[in-house]
Structure 1
């Protein structure tokens, strides 16, 4: 596929489409199963293209669909320029891109550059080539400590729990920041850098419009001969010179990537997943680097007016520093769904899961029994928070199934779990499978319309009530709330500015957008009255009436 054909078949060629886009994250293995093997696939996504068009999104972001042993849900990539045969073929990918582009939906794919799968041909070659080989230079291999080298080079712990160094047959050790099946690459190696440039061109030439960069802050490393201890490593400042996290030199990599992105018309976009200190975010969102960075702050917040206002003000200020637009996220494939988070009791700040699951982790550990989940409150708050988020300037990221109002699935049997965090820390971390359970499309069938066979993760019986077919014709459903909001949002998103309006209450936020729009969110439980003279209620997250916003509700007004 040439750039010329690509230009002819891509949807509306607006270079800065991403600045205020609504991007829908698809976790391919749990979206739609076309061949009845229990695993979602690329043709399954194509089959739901009309659903995505009707929803009103601007782009689809695909979590990894590459060949993988699924040690980490596809984030252990064995081949960066192919499709996992269980999910389809490259021709299926091309058909999906064409189907989405025909409906004016852009395509964003996940790139996982920090590590490969241990099944990747490079790593297999490194194991065979042995100590001191050129093949091992693409990864981070070290001799061990102790008289026989059988102690790890350092006592570091991986993100998923357990040691971060793994010994191979000839006695050397390799570094893996995540699962043992995910060896970290050596980004000082020119072949590593060139191969990822080739990958970016490969997918861009196939019509991909942008890239989401997994753990964008971890690629480059500077490991001294004598490695620091775990305690010493954790005590080092994250100032751009840390040995393994958020180093300034990672932006040399992204400057090369930016040249590739800008060689296309329109330029390909990128967004960084970068869990870094606040003042470090603009480096990733800078136009000479990746151009945009995820803001996860709302995802970690309570349903609280003060927290929401501080987060919005801070992140709009950060976006202005880089010249980018902010991103807003309430749920994704790594955290407890926000309808559930908002239905659980608020816990203290120190009790929150660092990934934003908060007390959801304690709830998951009991199989959803304790603490008690208030389903109705969680759903009501989730609708209000979503309308608040969609009213903000910047781009919004939605996670598959949130438009159906789905809650987290807590009661997954241990033998059915797939997340490596569960296996590496049994009884401590349940993992992320609960938000990755396949979607319910129909009220009946072996997998509620997901496919013709039982799905790869079990679906609870309550999912039948949340099926897309059930909600389709219900004007009060969560699905139709999203559809209405996204249709209205097209008119609301004119300029990337907002002005706060004094509400007179600590638990109510009001802001205006250009063109006579106002958003009011009542985070409390008492009704809030406002002067609605001349205002039309365009959409409300809960039933209300002009001049009143009932508790835990958002309304959009047009004057």
Structure 2
């Protein structure tokens, strides 16, 4: 089955985390005018689209993923007029704009939840959320044993309007993020209207947060396994009752019909932490979403066999439903891959790194990250980049614990440091206040002193810099049609991977010894060849054959 035409099938999409990209007014928090002023960087880099993490009105209990109003902009980030300007300026520079949509839960400050708290059990207001009576003679026990992704129980008990302990509400994330009841037709109608609101303003699509979580198993059965947002679905293991239920697909078919009624190619992107690849492929069937992040790829080990296996599985699964594969190595929820790939394999994949934790090997991590990026950008399909990775930015692994704002840190009892380390405001100018993030030294998370060496102005025009490596890769990817190409494996051993795509031969060396490059003209590499003209360890090269 062939992949239908559409810009998203081969696009490189750049994720902007608004509070950490560019600050126009000096308050230490990035904003929409700041983003608009820096769009030229993205056009120069060579990406096709931007995806904006949430900028909606929010108490910011979870950095804006607790939405209080889906049809407005938080004053922290600007105004609706600023959003309109950003969309128009992006379009003028040839960039598409994708916005985040958070449909699994609202903020507890949302007018609907406030009405639910004030209303009686069994009321229409409460039916918009997942309210249940507690267990035990006085209802003092939660309705089931589900745990929050952020740690602790997934249920919180209300104090009823008359002052007595009352019903419990479900929150798979923070207590300030009550889960919506997607079995309620009013919820479905509301979000169709929200889609239209932003489509009418000219957005090109939506990244859908927790896309696999909207429908819960009807009986809310207990789940004794540890709570993980990743829904593993091995044949011998039941599917968690809160993740990847088949009913979510009806919702996205309804959404797709709305998007298809608009001119231009508007897209839906699933953030669905689902395994195996065959399950995630269900989200991108022809009448559902257009893309789904490939988290199995993001999590794969940096070895030739692991990379071969995940790439092959991913392409086979999405080819079976006629969709492109969507590759990603970093985002606002995971340790930046320039640091993640410098961790000891024995250390696993921690949720955050801080002072006193095992520290990554920075040089090894960046070397592998550059090689992994060139491998990823040579694959057919679409790819996502996370702001700052084009600068080689590492995780801030020594962020003071007292500066942390991710609810994971508190809710886990200070056992998981959380996601703040990948969300630190990025550096633009080595010698400017806040490294050019804003006009003052203010920064909502402290920037490490080593940010200067990664600043954009230190890398522009510098041959071999990470920024120029990315820019060249994006230009060559476009010139050689790699995103719409096809992959042909030439070698898939334990030490190297070699494949062809779009007239190029791509080799990544995972082994301890340098290897000869493929025959042909060397167009690009993640690092130089050695003195003998061989490809060193942890290096990817692109060769025209």
Structure 1 and Structure 2 fold alike (TM over 0.5): yes
Q: Does structure 1 conserve the Cα–Cα contact (< 8 Å) formed by 2:304 and 2:494?
A: yes
**1:307, 1:241 → 2: CA distance?**
24
Q: Structure 1 residues 381, 234: CA separation in 2 closer, same or farther (over 3 Å shift)?
A: closer
Per-residue CA distance 1:106-155 (angstroms, 9 max, x = gap): 11111110000001111011111232221111001111122222222122
DSSP 3-state at the match of 1:86 = coil
Q: Structure 1 residues 530, 467: CA separation in 2 closer, same or farther (over 3 Å shift)?
A: closer
**2:501, 2:41 → 1: CA distance?**
29
- Show structure 2 runs of 5+ residues with no match: 161-165
In structure 2, what is the equivalent of residue 252 of structure 1? 250
Q: Does structure 2 conserve the Cα–Cα contact (< 8 Å) formed by 1:37 and 1:453?
A: no
The runs of at least 4 consecutive aligned structure 1 residues that moved more than 4 Å come to 232-242
**2:508, 2:61 → 1: CA distance?**
41
Q: Does structure 1 conserve the Cα–Cα contact (< 8 Å) formed by 2:435 and 2:452?
A: yes
**1:387, 1:318 → 2: CA distance?**
23
Q: Does structure 2 conserve the Cα–Cα contact (< 8 Å) formed by 1:137 and 1:189?
A: yes
- Per-residue deviation at 1:302? 2.3
2:453 equivalent among 447, 465, 471: 465
Indicate whether 1:262 and 2:260 are aligned.
yes
In structure 2, what is the equivalent of residue 11 of structure 1? none
Q: Does structure 2 conserve the Cα–Cα contact (< 8 Å) formed by 1:15 and 1:266?
A: no
- Per-residue deviation at 1:423? 0.7
DSSP 3-state at the match of 1:64 = coil
Q: Does structure 2 conserve the Cα–Cα contact (< 8 Å) formed by 1:391 and 1:492?
A: no
Q: Does structure 2 conserve the Cα–Cα contact (< 8 Å) formed by 1:66 and 1:82?
A: yes
1:265-344 aligned within 5 A: 265-278=263-276, 279-344=278-343
1:115 equivalent among 105, 109, 115: 105
1:180-195 aligned within 5 A: 180-195=175-190
**1:37, 1:191 → 2: CA distance?**
39
- Per-residue deviation at 1:231? 1.9
2:535 equivalent among 540, 543, 549: 549
In structure 2, what is the equivalent of residue 229 of structure 1? 222
In structure 2, what is the equivalent of residue 8 of structure 1? none
Indicate whether 1:393 and 2:391 are aligned.
no
DSSP 3-state at the match of 2:434 = coil
**1:69, 1:283 → 2: CA distance?**
34
**1:308, 1:194 → 2: CA distance?**
42
Q: Structure 1 residues 251, 200: CA separation in 2 closer, same or farther (over 3 Å shift)?
A: same
DSSP 3-state at the match of 2:353 = helix
Q: Does structure 1 conserve the Cα–Cα contact (< 8 Å) formed by 2:359 and 2:397?
A: no
**1:325, 1:408 → 2: CA distance?**
29
Q: Does structure 2 conserve the Cα–Cα contact (< 8 Å) formed by 1:213 and 1:271?
A: yes
**2:60, 2:15 → 1: CA distance?**
19
- Per-residue deviation at 1:242? 5.6
Per-residue CA distance 1:317-373 (angstroms, 9 max, x = gap): 0111111000111111111111111112112xxx63xxxxx1x44x815x1x54343
Q: Structure 1 residues 134, 467: CA separation in 2 closer, same or farther (over 3 Å shift)?
A: same
DSSP 3-state at the match of 1:110 = strand
- Per-residue deviation at 1:382? 0.8
**1:312, 1:94 → 2: CA distance?**
38
1:400-419 aligned within 5 A: 400-419=387-406
In structure 2, what is the equivalent of residue 6 of structure 1? none
- Per-residue deviation at 1:84? 0.8
1:6-405 aligned within 5 A: 16-170=6-160, 171-224=166-219, 227-231=220-224, 243-278=241-276, 279-347=278-346, 352=348, 358=349, 360-361=350-351, 364-365=353-354, 367=355, 369-405=356-392
Count of aligned pairs between the two proteins: 528
- Per-residue deviation at 1:301? 2.0
**2:168, 2:359 → 1: CA distance?**
45
**2:441, 2:218 → 1: CA distance?**
48
- Show structure 1 runs of 5+ residues with no match: 1-13, 353-357
**1:237, 1:29 → 2: CA distance?**
32
Q: Structure 1 residues 372, 411: CA separation in 2 closer, same or farther (over 3 Å shift)?
A: closer
1:512 equivalent among 500, 511, 533: 500
Q: Does structure 1 conserve the Cα–Cα contact (< 8 Å) formed by 2:517 and 2:541?
A: no
DSSP 3-state at the match of 2:524 = strand
Return 518-527 or 36-45, whichever deviates more: 518-527
- Per-residue deviation at 1:184? 0.3
Q: Structure 1 residues 39, 15: CA separation in 2 closer, same or farther (over 3 Å shift)?
A: farther
1:496 equivalent among 470, 481, 485: 485
Return 234-243 or 375-384, whichever deviates more: 234-243
Per-residue CA distance 1:459-513 (angstroms, 9 max, x = gap): 010111111111113122111111111011102225431111137x521111001
Q: Structure 1 residues 138, 33: CA separation in 2 closer, same or farther (over 3 Å shift)?
A: same
Q: Structure 1 residues 193, 384: CA separation in 2 closer, same or farther (over 3 Å shift)?
A: same
Q: Does structure 1 conserve the Cα–Cα contact (< 8 Å) formed by 2:149 and 2:227?
A: no
**2:225, 2:365 → 1: CA distance?**
41
Q: Structure 1 residues 156, 342: CA separation in 2 closer, same or farther (over 3 Å shift)?
A: same
